[in-house]
Amino acid sequence: MVSNDAATIKQISASMQQLAMSAEVCFEVPPALDLLNRRKFEAVIVDLQLGQAKAVLEKIRLSPSNRTAVLFTISDSDGDTSVAFKSGTNFVLRRPLSQASIDRSLKVAYGLIVRERRRYFRCPVEIPAEISGPGIAAIHGKTLNISEGGVAINSSLPLKPGVQVKVQFTLPDNESKFEAEATVCWSKEGYLGFQFTSLSPQLTSELQTWLARRLEENLPESVADKFRSPEQAPHSMEQPPAVSHSGRSGSRQSSNLATESQNWVILYRAAVSEPDVEKRLPKIELAERNMKQRWSEIAVTGPEDAAERQRLRDAIENLLALRTGGN
């Protein structure tokens, strides 16, 4: 979080704590830029009230480590909001801030933050692994950690960075044998780091699902349900619920409603995460059409749909601001 406004820092930190997120605060721009060059963050919050804060917006999408981070901008005017969206901001927090408005924005953004976290999550796990390759006899070791992009293995095999190999292991609680082509990206005494270079869609999906479950285990129960499937977490923004309407019945109809509910969230996430202004507008229009259709279906239903109606209102407001700022 890049801000020197004590009240703003306190408000946003309180909302983040409810989602088991913590913030590292920079009160000035130079140390913020230095930190963004050295460390990875799932989300970045920039207060444009801070002098030279626009420099952070200009640099964030060029940062090797943080170019895909979810970006929030705190704005005081329509002009600042326009600058923010043109700089690739995903969400704008408009002053005067309230605890309720911050809570809603973070809740809407939560799915994107989860996805960003999972992309870089390194799960510590010790399981048998095999390394082989052209001219390399099969060597056995044990994994140190696994991520979507690669694996670290405890091995005495003296391989230099750039060497192409094949790694094999079986994830805990998984039947499929994980086999991938990989490149040595680092070598330390007794350990090798590998980057996956060829992975089938099926194994990619299995690995992402497995990592998501492990990531969930590290979270408080009050937050963990945001990672779960619709059947497990009825109010999850990441996986929206099948909505039950009074006076309607039938499994086919329920399935259609669940699909429609999920569609607007997927389209909304695609719109707010698109950094290219020209590509963003058609995505906004598609999401808005789907959201209006969804709203017409649940606008007059009972309290069972109140949570989704609130999410829709918040998302529609964000798209309106995104459309205005992008133009």
Rounded CA-CA distance 123/325 in Å is: 39
Distinct helix (H) and strand (E) counts, the chain: 10, 10
- pTM of the full predicted structure? 0.58
CB-side neighbour CA atoms (13 Å) of 286: 14
pLDDT at 247: 36
Higher pLDDT, 116 or 164: 164
Higher pLDDT, 274 or 31: 31
User: Under 8 Å CB-to-CB from 44, ≥6 apart: which residues?
Assistant: 1, 2, 36, 56, 60, 66, 69, 70, 71, 72
DSSP E strand boundaries for the chain: 43-47, 70-75, 91-94, 123-124, 128-133, 136-146, 150-154, 164-169, 178-188, 191-198
Rounded CA-CA distance 126/278 in Å is: 46
Rounded CA-CA distance 113/40 in Å is: 13
Give the fold, CATH level 3, of 123-204.
Thrombin, subunit H (2.40.10)
Give me the sign of the Cα torsion angle 77, 79, 82, 83.
negative
Give me the sign of the Cα torsion angle 171, 269, 232, 14.
positive
Read off the pLDDT of residues 13-64 as tens digits, 9 standing for 90 and up.
999 988 888 899 999 999 999 999 889 999 999 999 998 898 999 888 888 8
pLDDT at 131: 94
Read off the pLDDT of residues 166-197 as tens digits, 9 standing for 90 and up.
999 999 888 778 999 999 999 988 899 999 99
Read off the pLDDT of residues 210-257 as tens digits, 9 standing for 90 and up.
887 787 776 666 665 544 433 333 333 333 333 333 333 343 333 333
Give the fold, CATH level 3, of 6-120.
Rossmann fold (3.40.50)
pLDDT at 275: 65
- Average the pLDDT over each of 252-256, 266-270, 289-293 and give the range with the smallest value: 252-256
- Count of CB atoms situated within 10 Å of the CB of 327: 10
Give the start-to-end residue ranges of the domains of the chain.
6-120, 123-204, 228-326
Assigned token pair, 9: 């820092």
Average pLDDT, the chain: 80
